[in-house]
Amino acid sequence: GAVVSQHPSRVICKSGTSVKIECRSLDFQATTMFWYRQFPKQSLMLMATSNEGSKATYEQGVEKDKFLINHASLTLSTLTVTSAHPEDSSFYICSARGTAGNTIYFGEGSWLTVV
Amino acid sequence: RKEVEQDPGPFNVPEGATVAFNCTYSNSASQSFFWYRQDCRKEPKLLMSVYSSGNEDGRFTAQLNRASQYISLLIRDSKLSDSATYLCVVENDYQLIWGAGTKLIIKP
């Protein structure tokens, strides 16, 4: 079946640095990718929706200059957390919707720890 | 009022028992409904879609009540491996709205 690969699965970075998370659809073309953040014991919170070749649409309260999203191809979207702070430590998950149908596939998630 | 509401639990249930979760949603125009399962520190995984006529998959039964705007999930003969957080998801115009999840703990 369709697979979405996300990496790194875990990353620790220093405060003030940037970290990039990749999300790839392995056997289908993803016209739309979604980026979520989940804090412990809380629900998934949609950060942004990205469509291939166009700018991402950010949810209210999500800083677009801090969370840079690039969806340059139909199989790859990246989330870059710039100038990371400890409060950015969270579980980040991507999901992708294929060109056919409404099924959404999730990446395995990335645990970000900012120290 | 949250768009999708769930009892956070935890539900502590003995193995073999039947357990039911409910989820309410606020947008009457919502088109699609799903139950996802999320294990600790993992990504959510689709458990089942929810149809107006109700649907069953093995020990799991999902139902939708559009008039009252709630969906339910019933788990029969619960197993230890059913311990997880169950997330109710509602789709509006291709956007998924997630509930906070209900934590289920199955005890031997």
- State the pLDDT at residue A101: 59
Question: What φ, ψ does residue B21 adopt, rounded to 5°?
Answer: -120, 145
Task: Please give the share of chain A, as a percent, with pLDDT higher than 90.
Answer: 64
Query: Helix (H, G, I), strand (E, B), or coil: what is residue B108?
Result: coil
Parallel, antiparallel, or unpaired for β A45-51 and A67-73? Answer: unpaired
Is pLDDT of A87 > 80? yes
Rounded CA separation A98/B24 (Å): 28
Closest residue of chain B to A97, computed from CA coordinates:
B94
Are the CB atoms for B44 and B87 separated by under 8 Å? yes
Rounded CA separation A40/A38 (Å): 7
The residues, any chain, with a CB within 8 Å of residue A57's CB and separated by 6 or more, are A48, A49, A50
Of B32, B41, B98, Cβ closest to residue A44: B98
| Tens-place pLDDT, residues B27-60 | 999 989 999 999 988 888 889 989 888 899 999 9
- State the pLDDT at residue A103: 74
| Tens-place pLDDT, residues B75-103 | 999 999 999 999 999 988 777 888 989 99
- State the pLDDT at residue A54: 82
**Min Cα–Cα distance to chain A from B60, Å:** 20
Q: Is A106 on the interface with B (CB under 8 A)?
A: yes
- State the pLDDT at residue B1: 65
Asked whether the beta carbons of residue A32 and residue B94 sit closer than 8 angstroms, the reply is yes
Rounded CA separation B15/A108 (Å): 29
Closest residue of chain B to A92, computed from CA coordinates:
B43
DSSP string of chain A, one letter each residue? ---EEEE-SEEEE-TT--EEEEEEESSS-EEEEEEEEE-TTS--EEEEEEETTSPPEEPTT--TTTEEEEEEETTEEEEEE-S--GGG-EEEEEEEEESSSS-EEE---EEEEE-
- Count Cβ–Cβ pairs < 8 Å, chain A vs chain B: 34
Per-residue pLDDT averaged across A81-106, rounded? 87
Distance of CA B88 to the CA centre of its chain: 4
Place of tokens 């990371």: A84
The torsion region of residue B47 among left (phi > 0), alpha (psi -120 to 50) and beta comes to: alpha
Of A42, A104, A109, Cβ closest to residue B96: A104
DSSP state of B9: -
DSSP string of B20-70, one letter each residue? EEEEEES-TT--EEEEEEE-TTS--EEEEEE-TT-EEETTEEEEEETTTTE
| Tens-place pLDDT, residues A1-22 | 558 999 999 999 999 999 999 9
Distances, alpha carbon B34 to alpha carbons A8, A53, B4, B62, in Å: 28, 29, 12, 9
Position B91, amino acid: E
Closest residue of chain A to B9, computed from CA coordinates:
A41
How does the average pLDDT of chain A come out, rounded?
90
